[in-house]
Amino acid sequence: MVTNLAKLQLRFISVCVATGMLFGAFAIAAFAQGSPSSVVITGPAATRALSKADISLDAAMRMVNACEQFATKNNFAAVSYVLDPFGSIVYVDRMDGVRPIESEEALARAKAALFNRGASGGGGGNAANPNIPGQIRVQMRGGEQRPGGLTVIMDNEFVGAIGVAGSDTMDEACARAGLAAVGIVQPGAAAPDQPVSAQDRPGTPAQGNVALTLTGAAAKRAATKTEISGAAAFRIAEACRAWGKQHNDATIVYILDPSGNIVHAYREDGTRPVQFDSASDKAKTSLLTRMTTIDLNNKVGNDVPTQVRYRLRGLDLGPGGIPIIVDDQLIGTIGVAGQDPLDEPCAIAGLAAVGITQKPSANGPPLPTQQPQTQPPR
C-alpha cells in the first residue's frame, strides 16, 4: 500500500519531469526561431546606431560562415553580402575563386530581398511568362530577381537581408543554411548539427600561416594569382578588429582586390553608415594612388582644387587607407574607419597578422595618450 509520503514524492517527481520537459521544449523552440538578442544589436551599440532592429555583426558572420560551409560541402565558391534594413553593408566575405560578376550578383540579390521583403527569386515571373515590368523596377534599384537573396526576420521584424552567388542552382539553399545558423529555419533547410561560430570561416585556420594570394583551382577560376586570398583578408580584418577593441575603438574594415572588388568587409555594431562609406573610399583611394591615404594627404597639402577634385572622384584623404603589397606586387588594399588617429595603426596591426610589415606614414595624426572609455566612434 502506498503511503501519503510516497504519493507526495511521486507527485513531486512528476512535476519536476514535466517542468524539465517544458523548459526543454522552450529551448528547442528558441533555437529553431532564433533569439532576438543574439541576432540584433543591443545595448550601447544600439544607442549609438539609433536602431534596435539592425542585424548584429556576430549574427551576420555566423550566417556567412554557415553558407560557406554549405558551399564547401557542395563544391562551389560563394560570395555573401549581409545588409541592414537600410541597405548598408554589415558583412561581406568572398571565397577564393569567385568572379567579379558573382560579387555584383550577390549584392543585387540582397538588395532585391530588401526591396521586396521576400526572396529575390520571387516576383520576376518565369521563362514562359516573365514579369518584365517587375524585373525592370527591381533592377533599376540595383536588385536582381534570381534566387539567392533572402530576408532576415525576427519576431515579425525585418532586421536585414542576405544575398549569395556562386552556384546557378544552390545559392538560395546556401542562404537558407546561413539563416539556419542563427536559428531561422526555413522550409528546405535544416538547423546545423552544432552552433556556428563567427570565427569558423572555412579554409582559415585559427593558428598558423595562410596563403596571401590565390592558389590552385581558385586562381585558375579567377584567372589571377596576384589578388589577396579570402583567408588572408579575414585574418587581417579580424586582427584589426581585435586591435580596435583593445583601444576602445569600434571599427569598419574594407578590403579590396587589385580590381577594386570587395574581398572582405565588416561593420562593427554601433558604427554608422557614413563610416562604412569612409572605409570604402579609403581603400579605393589607396588602390588608385598606390599610396597610403596619409601620404596622399601630405602630397596634396593645402591644394584646395586638388582636394575637391579627389573628393568628387570618391577619394578620401583621411588616415586608414593602405595598399597591400607583397614582393613589389599590389595584391589588394585596406580601408579602416573609426577614430581617425587610430585608423592607420589598426590597419597596420591587421597587416602584421599575416606577416606584412607596414611602416607608419609620416605626419599622421598623433595617437591619443589615453583612450576614452565611453566616447563613441566618430
CATH of the domain at 169: 3.30.450.150
Kindly report the CA angle at 27 between 26 and 32, in degrees rounded to 5?
95
Q: Is residue 163 part of a domain?
A: yes
Q: Is residue 3 part of a domain?
A: no
pLDDT for 43 equals 86
**pLDDT tens, residue by residue, 121-171:** 765 444 455 666 656 655 655 568 789 999 999 888 899 999 999 998 999
pLDDT for 155 equals 83
How high does pLDDT run on average in the chain?
84
Q: Is residue 28 part of a domain?
A: no
pLDDT band at 200 (very low <50, low <70, confident <90, very high): confident
**pLDDT tens, residue by residue, 320-343:** 999 999 999 999 999 999 999 999
Query: Per-residue DSSP letters for 98-143?
Result: --HHHHHHHHHHHHHHHHHTS-TTSSSB-SSSB-HHHHHHHHHTT-
301 or 6, greater pLDDT: 301
Q: Is residue 242 part of a domain?
A: yes
- Name the least confident of 32-36, 40-44, 231-235, 372-376: 372-376
84 or 375, greater pLDDT: 84
116 and 50 inside one domain: yes
CB 227 within 8 A of CB 332: yes
pLDDT band at 36 (very low <50, low <70, confident <90, very high): low
Is this structure's pTM higher than 0.75?
yes
Residue 307 DSSP SS3: helix
The pLDDT of 335-354, averaged and rounded, is: 96
pLDDT for 50 equals 72
pLDDT for 364 equals 82
pLDDT for 137 equals 58
265, pLDDT greater than 90:
yes
When divided into structural domains, the chain yields a total of 2
Domain ends where: 180, 197, 229?
A: 180
213, pLDDT greater than 60:
yes
pLDDT for 233 equals 98
pLDDT for 33 equals 42
332 or 197, greater pLDDT: 332
Residue 213 DSSP SS3: strand
Residues spanned by the domain of 103: 43-180
Residue labelled with grid coordinates 563567427: 198
Q: What percent of the chain has pLDDT over 90?
A: 62
Q: Is residue 229 part of a domain?
A: yes
55, pLDDT greater than 80:
yes
Alpha-helical runs (H) found in the chain: 4-33, 36-39, 43-49, 57-73, 100-116, 132-140, 171-180, 216-222, 230-246, 273-289, 293-300, 304-312, 340-352
58 and 150 inside one domain: yes
pLDDT for 129 equals 57
